[in-house]
Chain A
Amino acid sequence: MILRFLSSVILLCVVMSAHATLNIEIVGAGEHQIPISIVPFSGEGKLAQSISAVIASDLKRSGLFRPVDAAGRAPHEPQDVKFADWAGVDALAIGSVVVGEDGRVDVKFRLFDTLKQTELTGQAVSAKSDQIRAIAHHIADMIYEKFTGDAGVFSTRIAYINREGKTNRLVVADSDGYGEQTVLSLNDSIMSPAWSPDGSHLAYVTFEQGHAVTYVQSLLMRQRMVLAAFPGSNSAPAWSPDGKQLAIVLTRDGSSQIYLIRPDGTNLKRITFSDAIDTEPSFSPDGQFLLFTSDRGGSAQIYRMPVDGGYAERLTFEGTNNFSPRYSPDGKGFVFMHSDGKQFLIATQDFQTRQMQILTDVGWEKKPSFAPNGKLVLFATEAQGRGILATVSSDGRVKQKMIPQHGDIREPTWGPFLK
């Protein structure tokens, strides 16, 4: 019995790595863009992927950098850098790649401030040849942090559902949509993936048992367990910041209500008591409050309540409905899906000013989540008749679409910083 159960789990969790090519479109620019030249690294022509191109693409996507072509100038070592040659840029990155006989790749990188004419940082990294993109994302994070003072998110990962025909795949990918890895593949719907705070587990919802059941799966061990399979729907998992409990939504007592539960499925405790739909809980970064969607006032709106229970305060009043709240990483506001009855748009709202800012304009945008540095928002939208990934900078200035070659993308969620 145990064996049979385990083997069925293993079958479900077959990992496939798809090297899907994406079509990436970027629109808009930040207010103050830093012009930077990333000189093609010496030796990178031997790699399947150009490191300098991935770094440039990462930085451009942030909206805060403007990559400037090196125009044939090709210093690779510090002594080759002549600052007089780089008057048009504020920053210069150079580097080299050596592929060893064992297939390992040694990458050296240096970053210069061309105005102050000084070296800001540098690093030497040795990795396997399939880690090229990871190295490039790491270097882009270093550059981003040096010039903006904020942590970079290029090395973080995202999760989403890719639906193709009847097949639904739960996928984890790099934040730029590359490096897809299939965590779970089913012929039933998968919904609402949620990252544990340390990035080691995903909670998610599937219909493989005929109704919505919530699972927790380890990304390292691939082992998964049922978190909640009560009669009715078991959905909308959200992890507390300390990872010690999740908020989930159950209909076992009638309408959708929010409960707390430990990651091992014990200590279930109901915390909302309405006859309305209370769903989509999101923990505040300090773990003290929950945002959630409720139609207790007659239309779906966003509310905030203490995790211990108590008074739920309505926060949204604009448009006809508001859904899918997620706290910003600094806890000062939240992102959500705003509707005027016709369109569904991504918006943010500040707790103090209570001002809503609409960030998108297409009208079919769902399921927003913040990057862990709070500077970008990931969401699902449509292009060419298919569900795609998109990001928008949290000031609304820079928008990016990531269009995969196959399938409909749904339910994206941005993962945490990996420590």
Chain B
Amino acid sequence: MMKKLIMSVLLVNLLAACASEKPKEVAPEPAASSTAAPAVAPAAAQEAAPAVAPAAAVADELNDAGNALLSARSAYFPFDVDVVQAADKPMVQAHGEYLGKHAERKVTVEGNCDERGSSEYNLGLGNRRANNVKKMLVLSGAKAAQVKTVSFGEEKPKAIGHDEAAWSQNRRADLNYGK
């Protein structure tokens, strides 16, 4: 009985380990791209570009801070809504096109929620937000196999506080190309 239990634990763990194996990294990214500001002001991003983009990475437009769409990595949602908003569609579509042109690239879409509602419902809502972003990426050119999704529900708030200023930051799906 004991043996059987340990074996099943091991099996499940092995399976889980396979499932959660991180994709191999292709190219290192400059630090600036992973800290994309929520509201991307193209002018500000252009100013920052010469300072942070290393010469070697300029070829990859994903790392071009001057590209307002590709340097943005977050889509924002109204309360209890999981549909990608019109304001974020060009950004998500640009990433879909980019992935279509770069078959070696992989991305994880991370769904997040504000703290209102139950934590389990929010885990489900974050899953739907991530799935809807994935659908739009695939419609725009990405292969489904390039896009993983994960929901963090309300567990990883970017902003702390019980007000709309914080909540609006936390209702979010992030495109994570890896570190």
A residues sitting closer than 8 Å to B (CB atoms) are: 1-2, 5, 189, 191-192, 207, 209-213, 225-226, 229-233, 235-236, 249, 251, 254-256, 264-266, 277, 279-280, 293, 295, 299-300, 321, 323-324, 337, 339, 344, 364, 366-367, 410-411
Contact = CB atoms under 8 A, between A and B. Distances in A.
A231 B121 contact: no
B74 interface: no
B25 interface: no
A400 B6 CA distance: 43
Interface string B108-130: 00000000111111011101100
Contact of A255 (B8, B10, B127): B127
B101 interface: no
Given A5-B10, A229-B19, 19 more contacts: A1-B10, A191-B153, A192-B120, A212-B123, A213-B16, A225-B5, A226-B13, A229-B16, A233-B123, A256-B123, A265-B12, A277-B128, A279-B123, A279-B124, A280-B121, A293-B121, A324-B120, A337-B118, A344-B117
A369 B117 CA distance: 16
Residue from the set A249, A295, A410 with the largest chain B CB neighbour count within 10 Å: A295
B155 A191 contact: yes
Contacts of B20: 209-211, 229
A232 B108 CA distance: 12
B146 interface: no
A226 B12 contact: yes
A300 B121 CA distance: 8
A344 B116 CA distance: 8
B159 interface: no
Nearest to A190: B155
B15 interface: yes
B118 A364 contact: no
B167 interface: no
A207 B20 CA distance: 11
Contacts of A265: 8, 12
A45 B3 CA distance: 50
B127 A251 contact: yes
Nearest to A300: B121
A6 B10 CA distance: 10
Interface in B9-46: 9-10, 12-13, 15-16, 19-20
Nearest to A275: B128
Contacts of B9: 5, 225-226
B77 interface: no
Contacts of A233: 123-124, 127, 151
A210 B178 CA distance: 13
A411 B119 contact: yes
Given A5-B13, A255-B128, A265-B12, A211 B150 contact: yes
B120 A229 contact: no
Interface string B138-179: 000000000001111101100000100000000000000000
The 3 closest A-B pairs by CB, nearest first: A256-B124, A229-B16, A277-B124
B93 interface: no
Contact of B117 (A213, A255, A321, A411): A321
